[in-house]
Structure 1
Amino acid sequence: MERNVTLIGLFAALIVALGFVPAIPLGFGVPITLQSLGVMLAGAVLGSWRGALAVLLVQALVAIGLPVLAGGRGGLGIFVGPTAGFLIGWLPAAFVTGLIVERLRRVPVALAAGIGATLGGIIIMYALGILGFWLVKNAGLKPEDAPISLWAATAIMAPFIPGDLVKVVVTGLVARTIAQYRPSALLARG
């Protein structure tokens, strides 16, 4: 139990620390950050429940106003802004990433982590992120404002995909390295 709490806290700290790497703003409210890499790693290394708890801890820190997101952002307002869907999507992203690594035991760990990070860290996170972005952008429109279509919201997110694919590869490589040199630390396979 104590080890689990320590590792959950450690991965929450990793996600926060990755937020200190300067974000790359793209001009429409959703920056490129490395924090989603931390989410993918939490799931791949800690497994579904522990990875999700690490993310939940970060989300709680954000909710109480600590500036733990990229760019020093925090507070409840984040949960209704253009990045809300992505932030909310972190939880199922970590869970699904971990679940896939746990279930694909006969598959090499790098591949399992890559598949998990792709499904959890890209497909699920983007589905919720795009939906959240679309909802926020269309909320409270004035009559003269044109609504944004869901397709347009999806197209706006396209520049993020190559970077997130690199994060998937990094997640697989890190998981493989941990499995090779410290297999007991890869709790998703424990």
Structure 2
Amino acid sequence: MTRERTLVQIALYAAIIAVLGLMPKFDLPLAGGVPITAQSMGIMLAGVMLGAWRGAAAVSLFLLVVALGAPLLAGGRGGLGVFFGPSAGFLLGYPVAAFVAGFIMQTLKNQPVLPVALVAAVVGGILVLYPLGIVGMSALGSLSPLDAAKASLIFIPGDTIKAVLVALVAQTVARGLPDALISRAS
């Protein structure tokens, strides 16, 4: 794969994550100021579709643009301040989550796409991301670690639906444009 094509793919998935920020966020008082957004689906998708390193690079590019002040997070948030609020653990965990999802896709590339993509999205986007998010909610929010862990439970149903959608997208792409599923390439 050419370097130019890789850069375009990284930029494309960073843009997809940004576009998902246009969907309204839902603020929940129980979650210590961490909103429900569609952007976590973009994180899962970047890892599942691009693989470990490219997925993490796409998410990191997105976060860099946010840090530079672009209001790309749901609700029009951006700038360095977002990395010092209760969402910081989730934001900083995004590249790790994408990396893990992509690593699982690459490791199990000879297995059926749908179940592997679902497992990858759940493991990266929930099991890996939530502990980092909980630490951020506790350290930078007004919640104890136990309360932050309890509050994060509210995100599980939505993130599970997002993981299923990501798996369905990966399956559809694998059938129609298998070369676009970079995480499965040899």
TM-score of the superposed pair, with normalisation by structure 2: 0.95
* Equivalent pairs, count: 181
- Residue 25 (structure 1) aligns with: 27
AA matched with 2:85: G
Q: CA RMSD in A?
A: 0.9
Q: Show the 5 A alignment for 1:14-93.
A: 14-27=16-29, 28-93=32-97
Match of 1:114, SS state, is helix
Shift of 1:106: 2.9
Q: Which has the larger radius of gyration?
A: 1
Contact 2:59 2:95 in 1 (8 A): yes
AA matched with 1:170: L
Query: How high is the sequence identity, in percent, across the aligned residues?
Result: 50
Partner deviation per Cα, 1:90-142 (whole Å, 9 max, x = no partner): 0000000000000012321111111111111101110100011101125xxxx
- Residue 13 (structure 1) aligns with: 15
Match of 1:179, SS state, is helix
Structure 1 stretches of at least 4 aligned residues deviating more than 6 Å after TM superposition:
none
Shift of 1:152: 1.1
Contact 2:56 2:95 in 1 (8 A): yes
For 2:105 and 2:17, the matched residues in 1 are separated by 19
Between 98-107 and 79-88, the greater mean CA deviation after superposition: 98-107
Match of 2:37, SS state, is coil
TM-score of the superposed pair, with normalisation by structure 1: 0.93
Q: Which runs of 5+ in 2 are unaligned?
A: none
AA matched with 1:54: A
